Amino acid sequence: MNVKQKNLSSLSSSSLWMTLLGSACFTLCVPTAVSAKVKTPEAAKLVSADAKPTKGKPGFVTSRGFKFNIGGYTQMRYQRIENDPKIGGFIGQNDGFGLSNARLNLEAKKGSLSTFFSIEGARDRRLPNNRAQGEVRTMMLDAFFTYEFSPAFRLQFGRFKPAYDANELESTAGLFFADRALESRGVLGVEGLNVAGLSLPRQQGMQVNGVIAFDKNKDTRLKYFVSFVNGNTAEQPLNDNDGIAVVGRLQLNLRVNRNVSMKVGGGAYINEITEGEMPDLISEKRTGYTADAALKLYALRIKGQWMRQDSSFVDVPQEPERTAEGFHAIVGLNLGRLDSQLKGIMPAYRFATYDPTKNAESDNSTLSAGLNADTLTHHSIGLNLFMNKMTAIQQPLKLQVNYTIAQEEKARKANNDRFDVLLQMSF
């Protein structure tokens, strides 16, 4: 395997670390569904003997004066993928049921100091290289604390998801589709020929963030985030080299009224990745850029995002630079705004395209031909049933039915259309 192939394989295998982190942004992690009042366990050492749940709100007060809240969700999925025995015999061979998420969120706050933890009980740790084997683990996702000097200036320390990719920062429990968009999450091995997405994994470090309001009613607000992190996944105990990755994001929120609002944002990062085993370490410099927008216009919901990543190899200068690029657009319609009998029903359509090697050349003519013909396009049709909003049901449940038409160029061509049914309960 030449260096080019080795690094493409490394990038592909990292998709399992990068794209199945389905969780909420650290500033938006509290579940949106109805929460039940939490009673204090008799044996809980964290709580003083006279601690009582706060009236009208979930949670209780700890002996140190922190208001403690618990929330989360569980997602059960059925997936069926079109079989393609010609491509390695692994595409569409493992249809069935699985847990997408089993999330527990814990939050404690006292004055200017707060802390947040999220624990995932169904973490998909699938093996790389287009194999269905792997295991499901229970692991910590987020673990950070924040000190708020003012709404415009906060410091955050710990393990978190750097604010960069808008689609990745959306709450997993609130997505319009069962999975995030193609350019963000990439493709898992059993869905087609696996390839890494362009989102960033959770990492360890610090972040400065805040919200600046430009009017009394906060209808116009600017959110900013600057993260200083190790640059490798938070599941690794140490930095992969001596460098610190810098990640930044800006987002402008505009609200006309409760029916009309808009968000416009963008982000960038710079990082050096070091992979391999001593003494054969290979370093790769990466820079990423993203831009996104979201519009709420009465019953209409429109979202879109563009992402790009430029890569160059430090230790192998003869290797050419590589550029990956992709974007997606979502259109949804809240039928409840058109007819009260349809409250809680939202059909949606998503177009996504991703070229993992948009600009990449190789001295190997066969490899070069493949790199120039590996663009992927997904057309996803979805139906969302938000049962907590339905008058006849009013339960914290969500049902999603998705069908994805997968189209690939010659280098990744496969018969792999996908059907997903996901049921979620939030608490």
Domains of the chain: 3-426 (2.40.160.10)
11-20, 158-167, 346-355: segment of lowest average pLDDT: 11-20
Compare 234 and 90 and report the one with higher pLDDT.
Answer: 234
Q: What is the pLDDT of residue 313?
A: 85
What average pLDDT score do residues 102-106 get?
96
What is the average pLDDT value for the chain, to the nearest integer? 85
How far apart are alpha carbons 398 and 396 in whole angstroms?
A: 7
Q: What is the pLDDT of residue 82?
A: 94
34-48, 55-69, 272-286, 290-304: segment of lowest average pLDDT: 34-48
Confidence of residue 137 (pLDDT cuts 50, 70, 90): confident
Percent with pLDDT over 70 in the chain: 81
Nearest 5°: the CA angle 12, 16, 22 is 135
pLDDT at 258 over 90: yes
Sign of CA dihedral 81, 85, 88, 89: positive
Q: What is the pLDDT of residue 362?
A: 64
Q: What is the pLDDT of residue 41?
A: 37
Q: What is the pLDDT of residue 26?
A: 33
Nearest 5°: the CA angle 125, 373, 308 is 60
Quick check: helix, strand or coil at residue 179?
Answer: coil
**pLDDT (tens digit per residue) in 367-401:** 566 667 899 999 999 999 999 999 999 999 999 99
Compare 40 and 226 and report the one with higher pLDDT.
Answer: 226
